[in-house]
A = this chain, B = another copy of it.
Amino acid sequence: MITLRQLRFLTALAEELNFSRAAEVCFVTQPTLSAGLKELEQMLGVQLAERSKRSVLLTPIGEEIATRARAVLLAAHEIEDLAAAHKAPEEGDLRLGAIPTIGPFLIPKALPHIRAAFPKLRLFLREEKTDSLLEGLASGRLDVVLMARPFEIGTAEFTPLFDDGYHLATPPGWGRAGGAPVDGGALEGARLLLLEQGHCLQRHALRAFPDRDIQQDESFSATSLPTLISMVSEGLGITLLPDLAIDAGVLSGQQVDIAPLTGACPRHVILAWRSTSARKPVFQALADILRQTRTGLLPAAPG
């Protein structure tokens, strides 16, 4: 029978490609890891790593087994999590990931309520793009993620939080925008500035009007909403801003005009987790808090 420890040794070696460093990661000495791995190779009857005295490389079968080993270790860890969550569902560490176009505008307002609801919970926050969040969720690096659909989320489970529409942001005095609602026609042919590739907001904005031909001006791409707004205030073009960001005050002090954008397909903001997670009740409670936090912000319509 192979052991979880041996599998842990293998995954550590797969990541470090160095026996000594892998041993450190596992909090054992290098001979211990060497012996454990040798034992695993003997038990399985296959060579997992090619060792030259100078470098280590996993064999193809070693890579495959390392991949499966990671899954086994994650599942075993989830058993421990399940037990811990059963003892005290509202304690312990919770690693929450969020996309940059939602997290900073929702989480800070929600934090006091989360603290109040789960005083013993230690919340770790990370901002990453959607692809990275989902990878982190699947690998066990994150416990729960805040993101926006439409997006392929694989085997994760989720609950919808709220829909998030757009405002049109234009340079001061640009065209007709003076607070009155505008429709998608305002975007056609305009110099539309968006976030760089990889931000789901960029994809979502381009598809907000499926029937219109909307093109991004790719001569400049911003890496954050504040930067994007600055570019608009400089007169470089117009952009779409999520209602959530506006309500959270992302415009404060920036010289741009905004107008509600009617008829756009909104982003569906969701909270997602591994379907095997033991803490669904906490996630549902967290979702309730986030929904109420959104409602508590300024209403989207007036702008």
Mark A residues whose CB is within 8 Å of B: 1-5, 7-8, 43-46, 61, 64-65, 68-69, 71-72, 75-76, 78-80, 82-84, 86-87, 276
Contact = CB atoms under 8 A, between A and B. Distances in A.
A11 to B, nearest CB: 12
A75 B75 CA distance: 9
Contacts of A45: 83-84, 87
The A contact surface, by secondary structure, is helix
A86 B61 contact: yes
Which 4 interchain pairs have the tightest Cβ spacing? Answer: A44-B83, A46-B83, A72-B75, A61-B86
> Copy number in this complex?
2
11 contacts: A1-B5, A2-B76, A2-B79, A4-B76, A7-B79, A44-B80, A45-B84, A45-B87, A46-B86, A61-B82, A72-B79
A88 to B, nearest CB: 9
A252 to B, nearest CB: 48
Given A3-B3, A4-B2, A82-B61, A46 B76 contact: no
Given A1-B5, A4-B3, A69 B61 contact: no
A195 to B, nearest CB: 36
A26 to B, nearest CB: 10
A84 B72 CA distance: 18
Contacts of A76: 2, 4, 7, 72
Contacts of A75: 68, 71-72, 75
Given A1-B5, A3-B3, A5-B1, A46 B87 contact: yes
A79 B68 contact: yes
Nearest to A10: B79
Q: Which of A4, A7, A76, A86 has the most CB of B within 10 A?
A: A76
A48 to B, nearest CB: 9
Contact of A4 (B1, B68, B71): B1
Contacts of A72: 72, 75-76, 79
A8 B1 CA distance: 11
B44 A79 contact: yes
Contact of A80 (B2, B71, B78, B87): B2
B78 A68 contact: yes
